[in-house]
């Protein structure tokens, strides 16, 4: 038992409670990964459970990799039999073995978002749906939401009968699933849904995996959706040794289908469940934790827990208010630069977090101007870049020629003189004959009206067939190099000679390195397995801890990470929480936003700075927002306010010389607002400064100022929900209340 002496009392209890359903409520930074890995070790070493009878599931490849590494360190030889996997990776392994029971071949392709969008676009064209009305992304989201709830296309159509728009979505859903099956492809949601379908329709397969995995552990349980819940329930129902670990206060992925009810209602599904709370935090100072506790306490839909630590009390939370977003960005970047300059921290210790991706621009500009290295998490995924998608489509075609999308993408890349007309005729012939696009290409000479197009298609088919015959004895990197060499893909880019082309060549070199690394560490390299690994890579897995640079990311991307220095920017009502959330009648929306704030606060280890701007340019308009209610929920004694920069920077500094005065006067003229067009109301106002008024969109507010002149009054109102707005009385149509 010496292995477990470093655990605290509650962690030890969680490790030793191995039988039956267990819910571990693990607060932020409470060492849940440590508990899970020690629990695996305890099962193997003390309970004599065979390693292959244990399945540990988490959400990201990075988390799975860390858990795998720790299990190997603690258990040593013999731990290899333990399955440590993401949901999607585990389901791929289930399906590779048994998907033939559902009418698919085991070398199925996994489609990413771009692949899905292309397929949806083609379906809309066939169904003559206007993509301005039925946008591809909206259709994808509707289909994904249905799959998260295990609602198939026919059931979706049945449920939504009578709703014209949803009936159209049902038509797309039906066609989409049919096309996926024809292409022997699955999307990410299918990986879970088809596994549940497999288990429900094939009791022998389910029992095989129930006997195989007698002990189940699920990390980040608060992020599971309905489909994942059913998957876990099916696997656990025979032996019921299910341990789920999560924190309802960190459930922030509702927009991705996460169902917080899974963790809040765990004890209803498993009435005999043992509940263990991990509340000791090993990450942050007590002041940071106190701030997080006070904010999240305002949520009603939660299980009570209070984070505490034996760490130092630490600095108070810093709060800074600025006049504009530009000044906010300037301060944060300057603050980072000063700290690095005086040796307080490294660039990689610092993270700038914000609510929406659009907020990154100002910070990027300031970091570039300051020559400060940074990484924007959530930019264009490496595997989504054109040259990478092209080469992966070649590999997919070699691996699974039934993938119509992959074949269509590279049939004329690089250009082979195969035009849209030829491709269209081949696609029509394939549809008429009920065969795949690639099978139709192989029969090009038999397609009516193809003519000379058939001659141009033949070399492509021969090339692919040759590569397919070599798969058995060439490594993945060798196949990739062969494709690059034979197609002249890189040669064309070299001939282009631009900086962009050089960058694309560097990306291709990186893909070759990835394939070579896979070949090197894999005992039996397989092309389908490599493509599967690539398809399952998440953006956050690309964060490199070794590089010394500031990280910029949204709060959603920051989940699971920690930094000594955290800057939470844009802390204003209307930004965070968002305007839509504030105006929503659903209290659950605001509670999700508050959980997101809690996640942001608890990323900080040593130092946390919250910032906001008095005015901010949004969609080309200046908005005046109140300080975020989440900031106001932190008790004053926990916050260090510093200088009120919004006031001090709004006042012009005295001119030091006649030249300075000339510059200031010129700047004032440049930024002077032109006389606005005003509406002639013809009526005096029935309200005055200090009165309460109602606006049809912004709700109730107090009139702060009325400025007359011209043909209309300019009214400044401080609204309860959206802050200060300036408007013309004739347009605003305010009513006194």
- Catalytic amino acids? 32-33, 219-220, 250, 603
Residue indicated by tokens 């309970």:
47
| Residue given tokens 């899905």 in the structure block | 116
Measured from the Cβ of residue 350, the count of other Cβ atoms closer than 10 Å reads 26
Query: What is the rounded distance in angstroms from the CA atom of residue 350 to the CA atom of residue 218?
Result: 30
Q: Which tokens go with 551?
A: 């990280």
SS3 for 479?
A: helix
Widest distance between CA atoms in the chain: 89
CB 631 within 8 A of CB 612: yes
Peptide bond into 481 cis (omega under 30): no
Q: Regarding beta strands 54-58 and 215-218, do their DSSP bridges make them parallel or antiparallel, or are they unpaired?
A: parallel
Gap between the Cα atoms of 422 and 339, Å rounded:
62
- Give dist(CA 194, CA 96) in Å, integer: 11
Centroid of chain to Cα 106: 28
**Three-state secondary structure readout of 541-569:** HHCCCCCCCEEEEEHHHHCCCCEEEEEEC
Phi and psi angles of residue 289, each rounded to the nearest 5 degrees, phi first: -65, -40
State the sign of the Cα–Cα–Cα–Cα dihedral 264, 306, 586, 256: negative
Is the sign of the CA dihedral 129, 135, 141, 144 positive or negative? positive
CB-side neighbour CA atoms (13 Å) of 28: 31
* Bridging pattern class, strands 374-376 and 550-554: parallel
């Amino acid at each position: 038992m010496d292995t477990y002496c470093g655990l605290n009392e509650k962690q030890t209890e969680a490790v030793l409670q191995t039988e039956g359903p267990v819910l571990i409520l693990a607060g932020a930074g409470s060492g849940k990964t440590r508990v899970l890995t020690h629990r695996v070790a305890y099962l193997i070493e003390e309970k004599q459970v065979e390693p292959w009878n244990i399945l540990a599931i988490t959400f990201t490849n990075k988390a799975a990799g860390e858990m795998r590494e720790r299990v190997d360190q603690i258990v040593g030889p013999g731990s290899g039999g333990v399955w440590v996997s993401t949901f999607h990776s585990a389901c791929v392994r289930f399906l590779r073995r048994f998907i033939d029971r559902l009418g698919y071949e085991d070398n199925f392709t996994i489609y990413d978002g771009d692949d899905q969008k292309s397929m949806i676009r083609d379906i809309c064209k066939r169904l003559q749906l206007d993509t301005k009305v039925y946008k591809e992304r909206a259709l994808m989201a509707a289909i994904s939401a249905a799959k998260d709830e295990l609602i198939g296309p026919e059931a979706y159509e049945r449920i939504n009968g009578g709703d014209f728009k949803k009936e159209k979505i049902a038509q797309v859903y039906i066609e989409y699933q049919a096309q996926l099956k024809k292409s022997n492809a699955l999307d990410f949601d299918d990986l879970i849904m088809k596994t549940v379908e497999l288990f429900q329709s094939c009791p022998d397969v389910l029992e095989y995996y129930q006997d195989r995995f007698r002990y189940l552990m699920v990390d980040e349980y608060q992020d599971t959706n309905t489909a994942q819940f059913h998957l876990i329930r099916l696997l656990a129902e025979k032996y019921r040794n299910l341990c789920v670990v999560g924190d309802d206060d960190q459930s922030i992925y509702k927009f991705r289908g996460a169902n917080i009810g899974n963790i809040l209602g765990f004890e209803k599904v498993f009435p005999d469940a043992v509940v263990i709370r991990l509340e000791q935090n090993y990450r942050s100072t007590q002041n940071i934790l106190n701030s997080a506790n006070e904010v999240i306490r305002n949520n009603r839909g939660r299980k009570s827990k209070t984070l505490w630590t034996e760490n130092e009390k630490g600095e108070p939370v810093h709060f800074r208010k600025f006049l504009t977003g530009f000044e906010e960005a300037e301060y944060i970047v300057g603050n980072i630069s000063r700290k690095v300059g005086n040796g307080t921290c490294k660039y990689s210790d610092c993270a700038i977090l914000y609510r929406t991706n659009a907020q990154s621009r100002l910070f990027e500009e300031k970091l570039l101007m300051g020559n400060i290295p940074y990484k924007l998490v959530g930019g264009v995924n490496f595997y989504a870049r054109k040259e990478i998608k092209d080469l992966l489509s070649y590999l997919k075609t070699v691996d699974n020629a039934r993938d119509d999308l992959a074949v269509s993408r590279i049939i004329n890349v690089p250009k082979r003189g195969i035009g849209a007309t030829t491709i269209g005729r081949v696609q029509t012939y394939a549809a008429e004959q009920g065969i795949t696009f690639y099978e139709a290409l192989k029969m090009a000479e038999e397609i009516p009206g193809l003519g000379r197009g058939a001659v141009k298609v033949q070399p492509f088919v021969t090339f692919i067939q040759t590569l397919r015959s070599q798969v058995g004895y060439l490594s993945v990197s060798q196949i990739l190099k062969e494709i690059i060499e034979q197609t002249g893909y890189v040669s064309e880019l070299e001939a282009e000679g631009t900086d962009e082309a050089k960058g694309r060549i560097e990306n291709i070199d990186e893909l070759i390195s990835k394939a070579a690394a896979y070949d090197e560490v894999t005992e039996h390299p397989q092309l389908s397995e490599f493509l599967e690994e690539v398809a399952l890579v998440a953006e956050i897995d690309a964060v490199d801890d070794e590089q010394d640079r500031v990280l910029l990311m949204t709060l959603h991307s920051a989940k699971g990470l920690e930094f000594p220095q955290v800057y939470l920017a844009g802390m204003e009502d209307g930004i965070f929480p968002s305007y839509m959330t504030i105006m929503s009648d659903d209290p659950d929306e605001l509670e999700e936003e508050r959980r997101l704030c809690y996640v942001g606060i608890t990323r900080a280890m040593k130092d946390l700075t919250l910032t906001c701007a008095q005015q901010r340019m949004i969609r080309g308009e200046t908005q005046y927002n109140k300080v975020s209610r989440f900031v106001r929920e932190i008790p004053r004694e926990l916050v260090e306010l510093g200088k009120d920069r919004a006031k001090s920077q709004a006042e012009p500094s005295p001119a030091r010389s006649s030249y300075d005065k000339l510059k200031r006067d010129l700047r004032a003229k440049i930024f002077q607002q032109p006389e606005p067009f005003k509406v002639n109301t013809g009526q005096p106002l029935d309200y005055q400064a200090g009165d309460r008024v109602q606006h049809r969109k912004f709700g109730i507010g107090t009139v702060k100022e009325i400025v007359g002149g011209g043909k209309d009054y300019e009214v400044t109102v401080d609204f309860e929900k959206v802050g200060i707005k300036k408007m013309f009385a004739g347009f605003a149509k305010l009513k006194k209340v």
